[in-house]
Structure formats: C-alpha cells, structure tokens
Amino acid sequence: MSGESLEVCFVGDDAHPPWNHAGSILTKRIIECLSPKVNCTLITTLSPEEAKSLKTDWKTITTTPSGRRALDAVNLGRLTNQCSADIVHLVGTNALVFSPVCKMLGARGTIVRQIFTPYDTRDGMVRPVRRLINNLFVGAYAFTTPWIGQWDRDLGPGMRKLIVRPPIDCELYHPSHSGRDDTDGVGSHEYSLLYMGPLWPSRFPSQNVLGALRLLIEKGFDVGLNVLTSARSSVVLCEEVLSLARRLGVEANLFLERRDLSETERVRAYNAADLVIFPYVGPEPEQLADPPFGILESMACGGIVLSTGVLSIPEVVNDGITGFLVEGTSQHEVYSGIVRALTSPDRERVGIQARERVIEDFSYPAIRQNLIDAYESLLAG
C-alpha cells in the first residue's frame, strides 16, 4: 500500500479548536503533517454551532458532546464505523469503551491508541480490563517518545508499539526579529522571561519561580516575567500567583494572562522572550506531554529554553548546546539557571542549534514518512 492510498481516521473527544490541549494539538499536527500524502478524517465532539464554523482542510465528522466521556466514546465509536479507514488513530477519548464499540459494530481499521503523557499510576486499577480490550481490539500503541517507562511493562511483550514524535510546523514556528513592544506583557524590561502553560504546582512551582524573580531583581537584573495560561486554568490558581507576587514585591515585574492563544500568538510570544522557562517538578510532572510541545515550539522559533531535565527532555534539550537544563526547581536553582541562560556568550549559537534540532527530528517532512512507514508496517503484520 502506498501512502497516497492510505486512509487514516483520527478520533478524539477534544480534538477541535482552540487546539490548546495536548491531545488536540497533537491530532491537528499529525493530520497537517500527513495530509499531503494520506487521506485523513477527523471524528470529534462539537456542538452543532461550533461544527458549522469549523473550517479544516480535511474531512471532519462531529457528534454533539454529551457531557460524559464514556457516552461520547460510544458515539464516536458509532461514527467511526461509518469511516472506511485502514488505521483508526485514537487520541484522547475513552479507549476501553471506544475500541469494543467501533470494532463490534464492524469498523475494519486497525486501532492505534496514542499515549503522549507519562504512565498514570491510577491506570493500574483498570489494568486487567485494558489488557483484555487490547488483546481483542487494539492493534498498537503509539508514543511520542521512546521513554515510555511503566507503559512498557504494563502492555506486555505482545503489543505493537510505534514511536510518533510530535510534528512541529517549522514554517509557522520560526524565528522573527520584529522585536518587543509594550503589548508584550510586562513591557519594557531589559530581559523578558516567558512561561506558557498550566499553573499546577508540578508544572509551575510559583513560590520558587517568583522567588527566583525577586532574586534577579535584587541582583540588579531588569527582568519581567510573562505567564500565559489557558482559559481552562483555575481562576483560583491565577489569583494565588498574583497574590504571591504582591507579597514578594514583584507584581510590577509579572504579567499574567488567562486566555486561549492562537498559534500565531504563541509564535509571537516565543519570539518576544529572551528566555522561555519550563520549571517542571519531576520525576513525572502532572499530565505533561513528553517531550513537551512548548519546548519544541520554542526551539523551532530559535528560542532559548531553560528546563528541568525530567522525562525525555534531556534527549531534546542538550545542556549548553540546544538549550539549558537545571537539576531541580528550588528558588536558587531556578535563579542560577536563568542567570546562566541570559548571560551565556553562546546564546545565539544555542538558538540556532535548537531550531536545527527541531527541523531535523520534529518537522513535518521529518515525521511524515516515518509515520506512514509505521502505519504500513502495522498493516503488513
């Protein structure tokens, strides 16, 4: 089978705009990556009003969300039965419900279940059921990194495993030298830091990060921190961060915005920052895509990134070569890492090499044929 005749159906209950959740972003980008060579269909949940306004370059089938994930999985399974796909690539719905429904209704495509976050220990409670469903209905599991940890032991030796690295549109995510202006969050400071993501303590330890910001200011750095978080983020957590900034006396150096950014807005934010920070608290930050999409996007923009070396991040961020790593997220470790990254004489080279790394291993052309080959090898048995 050639790539041109391959039909792939992507299924995800949240795979729709604003494309700001890891599963939806991954689905969108895999489809964009494959579309020049593969016939792709997206099946997802959307209200009738949203479905009418959804404009994509690929075929989309929608069902009205029920408010219950299990019922949504049943409805998505019914719709998948209408699709004559060779591969059913499942991203972000209840696989234990979806898989038997769509196969027992007659769907012929091989199911590939996508995993993009670390193993959740709570999954152990459904392990016997999952193994049964896997043996009967699932053809393979797909991972965004070889570092799959407990998943490898949980799935057993008989389950096929594919590596599907997250594709990055390097034509959209690219360096821009338009410079910063007063609309870029905290405005005119000599240095601009950026954090983009949830405010959960495992992803953004606010006490340590804002403590590091205070240290920077005390040491004479004119620095501002932009915190951009999704509209899904807790209002309470946002208020706690702002309250902490006031207590620490850094409120004038902090800008926090809670809304869904478009991809072009994310590109602009990355390019406006002197340093993009990823202060993840390891060893397995909560619900963190691995490798984190934000790190790859920043690097594609030629940005300088600072991260803790959790999960597979050191495979992508080589310390002093494609970015900078810190061992932990204590106040002083974050402070020292920021100073090192901001003052490194190799900053320009690091940014260039960061983009080169993403183009080589994560760009659409780099991922496309590898994924087609993986699908075809699965169908060939």
Average pLDDT rounded to a whole number, residues 308-315: 96
Per-residue pLDDT of 210-225, as tens digits, reads 999 999 999 999 999 9
Q: How confident is the model at residue 182 (pLDDT cuts 50, 70, 90)?
A: very low
Residue range 191-360 in CATH 3.40.190.10: no
Measured distance CA(266)–CA(250) in Å, rounded: 24
Delimit the CATH 3.40.50.2000 region(s) of the chain.
3-167+363-379, 191-360
pLDDT at 186: 61
Least confident among 141-155, 196-210, 290-304, 307-321: 141-155
**44 or 284: which leads in pLDDT:** 44
Q: How far apart are CA 116 and CA 21, in angstroms?
A: 12
Is the Cβ–Cβ distance between 258 and 238 less than 8 Å? yes
pLDDT of residue 183: 47
pLDDT, average across residues 269-277: 97
Give me the mean pLDDT over the 226-247 stretch.
96
Mean of the pLDDT values across residues 13-23? 89
Q: Which CATH number fits domain 3-167+363-379: 3.40.50.720, 3.40.50.2000, 3.40.50.300, 3.40.630.10?
A: 3.40.50.2000
Average pLDDT over residues 328-355: 98
Q: What is the pLDDT of residue 196?
A: 97
**pTM for this entry:** 0.94
Q: What is the pLDDT of residue 10?
A: 97
Tell me: the pLDDT tens digits for 63-120?
Answer: 999 999 999 999 999 999 888 999 999 998 999 999 999 999 999 999 999 999 988 8
**Exposure string over 35-53, b if 16+ CB within 10 A, otherwise e:** beebbbbbbbbbeeeebee
Average pLDDT over residues 195-215: 97
